[in-house]
Homo-oligomer: A and B are copies of this chain.
Amino acid sequence: MTTEATNGDRGARSGRRPGQSGAREAILSAARTRFAEGGFDKTSIRAVAADAGVDPALVHHYFGTKQQLFAAVVDLPVDPEATLRRIEAAPLDELGETIIGSVVAVWDSPAGPGVVAVVRSILAGGDSSLARTFILDVILERVRARIATPDDDGRARVALVATQMIGVLVARKILEVEPLASMPMPDLVAAVGPTLQRYLTGEIDTAAP
């Protein structure tokens, strides 16, 4: 459903000759099915390659890592890796402000409208299983791994972070609710950063009674 907006970009980015598009499309199609049915973790490059009838090396050659393959499947117009690295490099007690600052920087960048188009399509009734696995397994999993403790796997915490980030995206970029839509980044970081920080490392009282 989102292919119209970004297929052109992807073709330009990969720079493949047209004759190779059959294999690329077969890999994408196989990956889409695998990710949607099994989620991110249970999907292997090897299985995708087998489904597509190609060598696993070709999958890596065309798409890079499994995460980058996933980004291609959901037609994401940006590679989330750079943002994830910035977040991973942040000290634990600066995770909240780093997440809101670095993610909104992408949304406010020239790549932002492409991201918004993908999100709109998903929210309109597109494949929400892909969106779920992207948010939880790709974007938030590395954050979750850092904050998990023996008593708390952190899943509720990163899901709460997801609610706040989704809401900022929708209010700022889709509904354009003022003054949120034009709030300067430092103000947005000051307002939302502590929310995310509490969700990740603070007292949230989500233990069952």
Point out residues on A near B: beta carbons under 8 Å: 120-125, 128, 131-132, 135-136, 155-156, 159-160, 162-168, 170-172, 174-180, 183-184, 186-187, 190-192, 194-195, 198-199, 204-209
Give the complex CA separation of A155 and B124 in angstroms. Answer: 28
Complex interface: chain B residues within 8 A of A183 (CB): 156, 159, 206
Complex interface: chain B residues within 8 A of A132 (CB): 175-177
Q: How many copies does the complex hold?
A: 2
By the criterion CB–CB under 8 Å, are B192 and A180 in contact?
A: no
Contact of A179 among B159, B164, B195 (CB under 8 A): B159
Give the complex CA separation of A171 and B132 in angstroms. Answer: 9
By the criterion CB–CB under 8 Å, are B170 and A123 in contact?
A: yes
Q: A123-B124, A191-B205, A205-B191 are in contact. Are A163 and B156 (CB under 8 A)?
A: no
Complex interface: chain B residues within 8 A of A162 (CB): 167, 171, 177, 180
Complex interface: chain B residues within 8 A of A199 (CB): 191
